[in-house]
Amino acid sequence: MQRRSIRRVVAVAVLAVGASIITGIPVSADPATAPGVTIEAVTSPNGSFIEKMEVTDSRHLRLHVYSAAMDATFPVDVQRPADTSTPKPALYLLNGAGGGEDRASWQLRTDALDFLADKDINVVQIIGGKWSFYADWIKPDPVLGVNKWQTYIGEELPPLIDAALGTNGVNAIAGLSMSGVPVLNLAINHPGLFRSAAVYSGLTQVSDPAGQQAVRATVEMYGGGDTENMWGPMGGPLWVANDPLVNAEKLRGTHLFVSTGTGIPGIHDEPGGPFRMEKPADTPKTVALGALIEGAIFLGAHNLQARLGRLDIPATFVYRDTGTHSWGYWQDDLKSSWPVLAKGLFPEA
């Protein structure tokens, strides 16, 4: 309790000092105020709270949120709607394997914020959770630390966002690549919290051998963590419990969008293209790896579509004729998914 009190004092002090600039968010000449945003005395049921707020302009700010579940503070980037005179819904955006902690993020690699700027919503970008599959891990990991991301995103953060931004409590969620499984699991584990869910080139099953190897490659090969600290031994009950394909019945009632390419290189795979992050000389091998990843995800998406079909659960699936695992396609997919996201965000429309 004493530490939380100290954190609150620090938060108030930071607010009194003034505003600062958030890296990666467009800077404008607007006054450094965020209308309708209040963070004092806002807490979630388990004691999580917003430590401080940094404001870029009247529409963009960064909240620093203390997670009691992880005993750590994480940034959350917010884009406010143009009109904040009445409560508006919120779209939560998850990044890929880097958790938005690197330069591979929605706001740095796409025009997502510009596209969503006139949609009359709050855009909430989760920052953190690299290589974690945004899961609740059963043990702290020597490399990746404590991970309780399902608790953070599904329980701790929403009441803080709703209170601070004055939302209407209506949410949707979208994510790419590594975020496919957690986006669907958040909809499964918190019925009604996210009324729409969109997955772009995302893994959608984890208890089958191919899914397990994909998770293991992400967590262990790239992240240096240990999947046994996440869900226990491969093939164990927690892998099944966290498999959206197995638990697809619980997606009933959620507006669903899933997209993927075939793995065949397309318009966003040319060396030196605007969405390429590697040196042009490295593009062929990067595209080849992206083709393998996308091809596997393509098959997994068909499995999920078949499963939902058997359960008579409606969903929108978009299979692009071309496309590897790349930001250009995810920018396109976000725009394609907007009608589905809007169904959940604006149910009365």
83, exposed or middle or buried, with CB in 10 Å at 0-12, 13-18, 19+? exposed
Q: Which two tokens stand for residue 192?
A: 């009604």
Given this model, what pLDDT does residue 12 score? 31
How many CB atoms sit inside 10 A of residue 281's CB? 9
Given this model, what pLDDT does residue 8 score? 36
The residue behind tokens 């079909």 is 309
Find out whether 104 and 277 touch, Cβ atoms under 8 Å.
Answer: yes
Question: How distant is the alpha carbon of residue 91 from its chain centre?
Answer: 10
Task: Assign 123 to helix, strand or coil.
Answer: strand
Given this model, what pLDDT does residue 349 score? 67
**Cα–Cα distance between 192 and 172 in angstroms, integer?**
10
Given this model, what pLDDT does residue 143 score? 98
Supply φ then ψ for residue 92, to 5 degrees.
-90, 130
Tell me the average confidence (pLDDT) per consecutive run of 10 residues in the chain, 349 residues long: 36 31 36 73 91 92 97 97 96 94 84 96 97 98 98 98 96 96 98 98 94 94 96 96 97 97 85 76 78 89 97 97 89 97 91
Burial code (b: 16+ CB inside 10 Å, e: under 16) for 282-315 equals ebeebbeebbebbbbbbebbeebbebbeeeebeb
Find out whether 342 and 92 touch, Cβ atoms under 8 Å.
Answer: no
